[in-house]
Amino acid sequence: MGELLSGVEESSKKAGRPIRVGMLGFGVVGSGAYRMLTDNRSAILRKVGTPIEIVKVGVRDQEKPRAVSQDLVTTDLNSIVDDPSIDVILELMGGLDLAGELVERALKNGKHVVTANKELIAKRGAKLVSLAATQGLDLHFEAAVGGGIPLIQPLKHQLAGNEVLKMMGILNGTTNYILTKMTQNHLGFEEALGEAQALGYAEADPSSDVDGFDVQFKLAILSSIAFGHEVLPEAIYRQGIREVAAQDIAYADMLGYVIKLLGIVDALEDGGIVARVHPALIPKAHPLASVSGVYNALWVRGDFVGDLMFSGRGAGSDATGSAVVGDLIDVCRNILLGGAGNTSTYDLPVKTRSIDEVTNAFYVRLIVLDKPMVLSKLATVFGQRGVSLSAMEMRVLDAEKQHGEIVFLVHPCLERDFQQAIEELRSAEFVLKVASWMRVQA
C-alpha cells in the first residue's frame, strides 16, 4: 500500500487495510466499473484512503477473453459470496433467481453489496433492503435506475426532508431514442425501432424496452425509495410505445407537445400513490421535453424543494460503471468509518392505488363518419361527465365515403371517467375507429 500511496498526500484520511471486492458478472456494466477502478485508481485511492482490490470475478464462461487477469476469474459464484476475506460484492450479472440467491447469501455472510440489477431490486428490494439493515450492511443500487445519473441516493439523502408530490421520468434510453427519431425524422415506430436495433440501442427482442417493462422496474424502485413502502412492478400500470403513430407525433407537435414514454408517480391527497408507465404528451417548454435520444431524466416535485430535474446518460458501460463505483466508494468509506447500514427500508403500509384515481388531460384521435352533428355528439359524450374539449383539429380522409379524422384534447378529468367516455365512443354510430388516445402531462 505504501507504494500505491506514493505521490498522494495522505493528509487526514484514515488509511486502513485494502478493501477486498468480489465481482459477480463481467459484462457491459462490470467491465465499465472495472475500467473506472483501474483508470482512475489513484484519484479513487485518495478519496477512499485505502486501495480497492478486485480479488475475484465470477463468470459463466471461464474461457471468454476479458480485460481482467484470468487468475481472478472463476465460475464458482458461491466461492465468491462465501469467501470470508471479501468485504464487498458487486452483483453485476443480472437476472432474478440466481442473482437474488447470491445477494442474499452475501448479505447473510456479512458482506456489503452493490448491484445494478433493476429487476432484482424492483421485485425483491424490500426484503433485501430489510436484510441489509438488520445486518448493519450497505446495499446500494444507484446503477439500477438512470445509469450514471445520481437519483436514488439524492432521493434518500439530500431530498430526505421532503414529501415527494410527483415524479416523472424518462427512464429508458431505447424508447426515448425511438421516439426522438420518430419526431425528428418523421418515421413510423417500426422504422425507428429498426434503426435503434441496427445501432445496438435496442435488442432483437425489444419487448422489455418498448412494452415498458424496464421502466416499470425502475419506477418501482424510485417509488419505493420516495414513499417508503414497497411498490412492486405489478402494481404499476404499464403501456408501451408500440401504438404511438407518426400521425400522433405530428398532431402533438402542432398542438405544442412532444410524446415521451414516462414513468410517473403521483401522491394523492389522502396519502395514496399511483404509479404508471405510458407514453404521454408533454408541453415543449417542460424540461423533460428537451431530453432527447438515449438520454434519461428524472423530474421531481418535493413539497419544500420545489421542482428539480436530473438528466444524463441512462445506460452504457462507462456511465453505469460510474454509478457502481460511486456506490462502492461510499461502501468503502463506511467500512473505514464504521457507518454502514445506512439504508432506507420500505416499511410503511402499502398504499398504491389504481390509475383510475388519477386526473389527467387527454389527447384523442378518432376516425369518424363526417356527418352533421358529429361534433355536438362528441361534446355530449364528454359533457355528460362534466368534461370539456379543446384544440379541435379536423380533416377529411375520404370525401366520397364521408370519412374524416378528428383530433382533440380533453380537459383534465379522472381516468375512470375518460375510459368510460372512450368506451361509449367505440360503440357510437358516428365513430369508425378510436385511432388513438394518450394522456397529457402538464
DSSP letter string over 176-215?
Answer: HHHHHHHHHH---HHHHHHHHHHTTSS-SS-HHHHTSHHH
334 near a second copy, rule: CB under 8 A = yes
Rounded distance between C-alpha atoms, residue 315 and residue 208, angstroms:
14
| Cβ-contact 142, 148 below 8 angstroms | no
Chain-centre distance for alpha carbon 300: 13
344 near a second copy, rule: CB under 8 A = yes
Binding mask 252-291 for a second copy (x = CB under 8 A): ---------------------------------x-x--x-
Output the CA angle 7-8-14, nearest 5 degrees. 145
CB-nearer residue toward a second copy: 206 or 302: 302
Tell me the β-bridge partners of 281. 259, 440
342 near a second copy, rule: CB under 8 A = yes
Joined together, the cell numbers standing for residue 375 give: 361534433
Among 146-154, 236-244, 355-363, 397-405, the segment contacting a second copy (CB under 8 A): 146-154
Active site residues: 218
Among 19, 29, 36, 193, binds a second copy (CB under 8 A): 36
Joined together, the cell numbers standing for residue 157 give: 439523502
CB-nearer residue toward a second copy: 32 or 58: 32
Q: What share of the chain is helix, strand, coil (3-state, %, to 5)?
A: 40, 25, 35
Q: Which helix (H) or strand (E) holds 277?
A: strand 273-283
109 near a second copy, rule: CB under 8 A = no
Of 301, 411, 416, the C-alpha closest to 355 is 416
316 near a second copy, rule: CB under 8 A = yes
Among 18, 28, 55, 153, binds a second copy (CB under 8 A): 153
Helix ranges, 228-282 (H): 246-255
247 near a second copy, rule: CB under 8 A = no
Closest approach of a second copy to the CB of residue 287, in Å: 7
200 near a second copy, rule: CB under 8 A = no
Among 94, 173, 206, 321, binds a second copy (CB under 8 A): 321
Residues of span 161-190 touching a second copy by CB under 8 A = 161-163
Among 348, 392, 396, 397, binds a second copy (CB under 8 A): 348
CB-nearer residue toward a second copy: 266 or 327: 327
Rounded distance between C-alpha atoms, residue 369 and residue 430, angstroms:
5
* Cβ partners under 8 Å of residue 384, min gap 6: none
- The one-character DSSP state at 229 is B
CB-nearer residue toward a second copy: 335 or 374: 335
CB-nearer residue toward a second copy: 94 or 148: 148
197 near a second copy, rule: CB under 8 A = no
Among 104, 142, 214, 370, binds a second copy (CB under 8 A): 142
243 near a second copy, rule: CB under 8 A = no
Return phi, psi of residue 221, to 5°: -65, -50
Among 310, 369, 394, 436, binds a second copy (CB under 8 A): 310
53 near a second copy, rule: CB under 8 A = no
Residues of span 375-434 touching a second copy by CB under 8 A = none
Among 278, 333, 365, 439, binds a second copy (CB under 8 A): 333
CB-nearer residue toward a second copy: 333 or 439: 333
CB-nearer residue toward a second copy: 120 or 143: 143
CA separation, residue 288 to residues 243, 362, 365 (Å): 21, 18, 24
Q: Which helix (H) or strand (E) holds 155?
A: helix 152-156
159 near a second copy, rule: CB under 8 A = yes
- The one-character DSSP state at 174 is H
359 near a second copy, rule: CB under 8 A = no
134 near a second copy, rule: CB under 8 A = yes
Among 236, 262, 265, 340, binds a second copy (CB under 8 A): 340
127 near a second copy, rule: CB under 8 A = no
Closest approach of a second copy to the CB of residue 269, in Å: 16
Residues of span 15-34 touching a second copy by CB under 8 A = 32
Rounded distance between C-alpha atoms, residue 271 and residue 267, angstroms:
6
Of 359, 377, 354, 370, the C-alpha closest to 424 is 377
Residue 303: half-sphere exposure toward Cβ, Cα within 13 Å:
10
DSSP letter string over 372-383?
Answer: TTHHHHHHHHHH
